[in-house]
Each structure stands twice: as C-alpha cells, then as structure tokens.
Structure 1
C-alpha cells in the first residue's frame, strides 16, 4: 500500500513539473491619428458669458488630457518587457533605422 501511494506521488510530482511555462505577449495596438480640430476664432467666443467660456476651456482641457492618457496606454503596448520600443512593421525590437516615406 505504501509503495502504491509513493508511486502515485512520484507520478503526480513528475507530471506537475512537465507543464509548459506560459508567457503572455502583448500585441502592439495601432495608434490612430489625432483628428484635425477646427480652429475657433476669439471673436466667436466674445459673446459667451465668463462661466460658459470657463466651462468650454475646462472641457477642451479634459478632452486633451484624456486623449494623452489613451495615447500613453496605446504606446505602452509598443514596448517589450525590457522597455525597448517594438517596430510595428516587423513586430521586433526596434534596432534598425526607421524608414522615411521618401525612401
């Protein structure tokens, strides 16, 4: 009986040691371009009440801050575990020169 329990324990321990190591890999997310926002002339804002103007400025600032946070999250997926930047074209650590559009 003791030999059977010992044999089962050895089998279970050996089976536990042979499980493959799981490594999670983050896929770099594409960074969408920022939209071109229309410019608002100062003359168009003169008719706003001060509290409405302040709310408009705070809204624009909050949107800009939110956009920068999202860009930082997306750009964090462009790095490997050591913090090196990953090339989105070849999915490897960026050690080569970046190609320009001209050539």
Structure 2
C-alpha cells in the first residue's frame, strides 16, 4: 500500500495583477489564493487583537500583494494597505487554497 503524501509548496508567485498568490505544489497542483483572502486570514498579533476588539475590517476591496519574503516554513506577505506583519506557514497557505 502506498502511503498518502501531503502536498508541499514548491513554488509561488503573484498573479500579474497582484490580486492573487499563485502556489505550485510538489504534486504539480497549481492553486490560487486571492489577496483579500490572505489579508482577511492574517493571524499576526496586530490583526488578532483588532479582531478581538471588533476593529478588523470585514473586507479589503482592491487589496494587492506588494512583496513576498520566503522564510522557509512560510511566507511573509506585504499588502498594498501597508500591512506586512503576517507570516503564512506554507501548510496554512495550502489550507486557504482548499488543499
């Protein structure tokens, strides 16, 4: 019996319009996560506190990805609203992409 192997992020880039993160896995899956989904899913301390205090926005219309830093285990993604504190573990990115 062949063991099931979970997909692993092998590569990533932004879409040409900066509105999505395109993720490729070791299983040759090509996945897309909208920038707004990423921004809404940020788990940094600042965003977590804003949610707790009821100050976190419900939407981020027109948000774009401006920079990506690869930390090995995850990506530090910066957005057009100036937010750059979020670190997205690669397994978390796959879950946001529905994998």
The TM tier, using the shorter chain, reads under 0.3
**Structure with greater contact order relative to length (CA < 8 Å, sep ≥ 6):** 1
| Largest Rg, 1 or 2 | 1
Per the normalisation by structure 1, the TM-score is 0.17
Per the normalisation by structure 2, the TM-score is 0.18
**By percentage of residues, which structure has more strand?**
2
**By percentage of residues, which structure has more helix?**
1
